[in-house]
């Protein structure tokens, strides 16, 4: 089989890239390791920047998002037993869209199917070949049968554990990483959200986040030990700990209920440079990971895809300026989002190793933040998304 672009991975990066390439008349196929049901079963991001919303509209998949998504004008920081609002709209003129990654993935999969575009699910042993030549090849096994695809380019959209980054010779890659000494225990519940907007809480017992997927489905997180296992946490234990980390009003009005999903995610900051090797381009989590505190992971995948589909369209229009500039352009925005995600994580989580001094510094920074329009504007402009 031959296509212009072979996309590895059917997460948001791969699906959005496939849709935008198709609209630009560029043939593509997606190879996905897992089943479609497995991909849709993963519970991940919840907040979309305006730039991501605009891209989903440009891809022709924004309808349900505008109908079912929730536009948020701000968020609240909770510390010292009180909540403080950061008014994105007043400070930046921008808002964010609360619409789960699962729904984004669903909408993109539906659009891909409607366009009759090929996706090979449960494609095993994907391997990439001749990436440094003019005719890369991708091999995979499906139902016991070996297949080979020849293409012009390979888009590595296969996440942190994928095969694409691993196919780049080690001496061609520079990696930057920070692993955090804690994780996030997340719960999804069909309960009314505790507040109209998200609440990010800094508490001496640990970080907590109150988010949502709709007006009837809530998403909550608490900072937990990396030694914790999901089985260690009953629903009741989770709800009681979450209440301890919130202000009195939120704790008393929190609607609890059975968890419909419960998982622990480790937190890391990670960047691989460059995001290109020959005819292979990395996008999304395949190239970088952020701690979810700043709600940047999915949104960074979107800006990578924006730069990549434009660069590939330029190539087929006769100019390689875009593909030659892709890595540098993408990394410029990636590192700013890495910085913001690291800063939000450092500000809001409990770091026992920094001791009482570190705690006082956090308290002083939070107090300064909520009393300084300049500081709140800086948080707001990063949270709503820096320009693509």
List interacting residues with ligand PHB (CB under 6 A).
45-47, 198, 209, 211, 219, 292-293, 295
Which residues, including other chains, have CB under 8 Å from residue 262's CB and lie 6 or more apart? 185, 186, 187, 188, 230, 233, 235, 238
Catalytic: which of 12, 22, 72, 277? 72
Q: Active-site residue 200, yes or no?
A: yes
Q: How far apart are CA 366 and CA 375, in angstroms?
A: 10
Q: Which residues contact 141 (CB under 8 A, 6 or more apart)?
A: 123, 124, 125, 147
Tell me the two tokens of residue 189.
Answer: 């519940």
Of 262, 296, 315, 349, which residue is the catalytic one? 296
Hey, which bits of the chain come out as E strands? Answer: 2-8, 28-31, 47-48, 70-72, 74-79, 82-87, 96-98, 119-120, 124-129, 137-142, 145-156, 174-189, 199-201, 208-212, 218-224, 259-273, 276-277, 280-282, 288-289
Write the DSSP assignment of 316-342 as a string of letters. Answer: HTT--HHHHHHHHHHHHHHHHHHHHHH
Asked whether the CA dihedral 377, 224, 103, 36 is positive or negative, the reply is positive
Closer by beta carbon to ligand PHB, 209 or else 272? 209
Q: How far apart are the first and last CA of the chain?
A: 34
Q: Give the residue among 84, 359, 67 at the shortest CA–CA distance from 195.
A: 84
Window 81 to 140, contacts with ligand FAS (CB under 6 A):
101, 123, 126
Among ligand PHB, ligand FAS, none, residue 293 binds (CB under 5-8 Å by kind) = ligand PHB
Phi, psi angle pair for 269, to nearest 5°: -110, 130
Of the candidate residues 3, 5, 9, 340, the single one contacting ligand FAS (CB under 6 A): 9
- Residue from 3, 12, 74, 180 in contact with ligand FAS (CB under 6 A): 12
Residues in the chain, overall count: 388
CB of 322 to ligand PHB, least distance (A): 31
Of 193, 292, 326, 349, which is the active-site residue?
292
Among 5, 6, 7, 13, binds ligand FAS (CB under 6 A): 13
Site for ligand FAS in 47-66 (CB under 6 A): none
The smaller minimum CB distance to ligand FAS, of residues 78 and 337, is found at 337
| CB 20, CB 59: distance < 8 Å | yes
Catalytic-residue membership of 160: no
Catalytic residue (choose from 200, 220, 277, 326): 200
Q: Is 288 a catalytic residue?
A: no
DSSP 8-state class, residue 345:
H
Asked if 72 is an active-site residue, the reply is: yes
Q: Specify the stretch interacting with ligand FAS by CB under 6 A; choose among 44-52, 66-74, 82-90, 321-329.
A: 44-52
Give least dist CB 219 to ligand FAS, A: 8
Options 51, 74, 156, 159; binder of ligand FAS; rule CB under 6 A = 159
Q: Does 11 bind ligand FAS (CB under 6 A)?
A: yes
Which does residue 297 touch among ligand PHB, ligand FAS, none (CB within 5 to 8 A, set by kind)? ligand FAS
Contacts of 316 (CB under 8 A, 6+ apart): 4, 24, 26
10's contact among ligand PHB, ligand FAS, none, with CB below 5 to 8 A by partner kind, is ligand FAS
Residue among 255, 248, 305, 249 nearest 281 (CA): 305
DSSP at 254: P
34 touches ligand FAS (CB under 6 A)? yes
Question: Interface residues for ligand FAS in 284-343 (CB under 6 A)?
Answer: 284-285, 292, 295-298, 301
| Among 11-19, 58-66, 168-176, 190-198, the segment contacting ligand FAS (CB under 6 A) | 11-19
- Exactly one of 3, 19, 29, 44 binds ligand FAS (CB under 6 A); that residue is 44
Listed ranges 41-49, 110-118, 272-280, 365-373: which one lies at the site for ligand FAS (CB under 6 A): 41-49
Catalytic residue flag (residue 203) = no
124 versus 255: smaller Cβ distance to ligand FAS: 124
Closest CB to ligand PHB: residue number: 46
CA 271/CA 5 separation, integer angstroms = 24
Please identify every residue annotated as catalytic.
72, 200, 292, 296, 383
Interface residue list for ligand FAS (CB under 6 A)? 8-14, 31-34, 39, 44-46, 101, 123, 126, 157-159, 161-163, 265, 284-285, 292, 295-298, 301
């Amino acid at each position: 089989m031959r296509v212009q672009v072979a996309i590895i991975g059917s997460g948001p990066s791969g699906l959005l890239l496939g849709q935008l390439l198709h609209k630009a008349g560029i043939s593509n196929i997606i190879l996905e390791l897992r089943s479609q049901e497995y991909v849709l079963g993963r519970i991940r991001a919840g907040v979309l920047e305006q730039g991501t919303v605009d891209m989903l509209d440009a891809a022709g998949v924004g309808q349900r998002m505008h109908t079912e998504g929730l536009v948020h004008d701000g968020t609240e920081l909770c510390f010292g037993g009180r909540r403080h609002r950061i008014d994105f709209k007043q400070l930046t003129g921008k808002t964010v869209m609360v619409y789960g990654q699962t729904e984004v993935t669903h909408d993109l999969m539906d659009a891909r199917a409607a366009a009759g575009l090929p996706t090979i699910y449960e494609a095993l042993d994907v391997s990439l070949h001749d990436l440094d030549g003019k005719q890369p090849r991708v091999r995979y096994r499906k139902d016991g049968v070996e297949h080979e695809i020849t293409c012009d380019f390979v888009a590595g959209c296969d996440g942190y554990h994928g095969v694409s980054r691993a196919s780049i010779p080690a001496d061609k890659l520079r990696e930057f990483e920070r692993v955090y000494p804690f994780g996030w225990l997340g719960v999804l519940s069909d309960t009314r959200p505790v507040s109209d907007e998200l609440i990010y809480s800094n508490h001496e017992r640990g970080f907590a986040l109150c988010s949502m997927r709709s007006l009837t489905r809530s998403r909550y997180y608490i900072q937990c030990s990396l030694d914790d296992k999901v089985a260690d946490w009953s629903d009741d234990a989770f709800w009681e700990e979450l209440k301890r980390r919130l202000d009195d009003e939120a704790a008393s009005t929190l609607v609890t209920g059975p968890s419909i999903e419960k998982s622990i995610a480790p937190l890391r900051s990670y960047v691989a440079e460059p995001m290109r090797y020959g005819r292979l381009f990395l996008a999304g989590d395949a190239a970088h990971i952020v701690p979810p505190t700043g709600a940047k992971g999915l949104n960074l995948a979107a800006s990578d895809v924006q730069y990549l589909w434009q660069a590939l369209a330029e190539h087929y229009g006769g100019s390689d300026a875009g593909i030659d500039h892709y890595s540098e352009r993408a990394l410029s925005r990636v590192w700013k989002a890495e910085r913001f995600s690291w800063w939000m994580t450092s500000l809001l989580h409990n770091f026992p190793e920094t001791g009482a001094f570190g705690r006082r510094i956090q308290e002083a920074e939070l107090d300064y933040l909520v009393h300084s329009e300049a500081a709140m504007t800086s948080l707001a402009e990063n949270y709503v998304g820096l320009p693509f």
